[in-house]
Structure 1
Amino acid sequence: MSFTVRTDAFGNGAAIPAKYTCSGADVSPALQWSDAPAGAKSLALIVDDPDAPGGTWTHWVLWDVPAQSGGLPEGVPPEESLPGGARQGKNDFGKVGYGGPCPPPGKAHRYFFRLYALDKVLELMAGSERPDLEDAMKRHILAQAEWMGTFKR
């Protein structure tokens, strides 16, 4: 079995419904995962848009998710610390938590939901940003899973 992440909100490679974007309620989709490696102590999530005009735009950073958890519910609240010990950082909108797709009008952008299985609990300060998370994850990634959706306005 291999480490996987998925959502029932949209198919892999399919259009993301407006509900999960700035054109709708802008809530995070429910995510499910399975088969984290045996040595995983925590999970981290990075959601980004590599097609943004100014370079890759980070929409969500989340870490210290318990490795034994099976997913996240829809509409994770924009709080730095979550029940169970997970922590959220600032996205490129300058806000804590999920910030949905919100590209300029034009062609569709790709949004990657990348989940990392880590061999430790990071204990990174809540409210940190993506570069801090990536630094903390170095040499601790056991496996990575990915799901991608598209959105255009």
Structure 2
Amino acid sequence: RMNIGQVLEIHLGWLAHAGWKVDPNDPQNEELIKTLPKELYDVPAHSLTATPVFDGASNEEVSGLLANSRPNRDGNVMVDRHGKARLFDGRSGEPFEHPISVGYMYILKLHHLIDEKIHARSTGPYSMITQQPLGGKAQFGGQRFGE
């Protein structure tokens, strides 16, 4: 599952990697060139690309740029205007039934691993006042009444 920010990130990541070239004479680009500055008609591959979250590029602008993305080394434009590509099953060689979103995304490893978080207690220290176990893993605590 992905949220809308992650979808935007993979589309912008793809555009930054592939670059784009908008032909102002192409009738399909008529709406795109109305909003796109001239210096952004031709952007090379591996360019830094960013947009503000709420006041940045519209869906139409991003999909227009995806439709004009540059071809890869083989000369093929891999994604359509929706940021999806036809992928193939590696075992059978058959294409998947539907196009699949592709792009580049930052993946960060979480430091909260279960091996460091899990804690169990049979007997241990308790509070002198309430006669309940101490709280927290560091104090070798346990489940207290009312939690």
Q: TM-score per shorter chain, which class?
A: under 0.3
Question: When the two structures are superposed, what TM-score results if normalisation uses the length of structure 1?
Answer: 0.22
Q: Whose radius of gyration is greater, 1 or 2?
A: 2
Query: Looking at both structures, which has the greater relative contact order when contacts are Cα pairs under 8 Å and sequence separation is at least 6?
Result: 1
Whose helix fraction is larger, Structure 1's or Structure 2's? 2
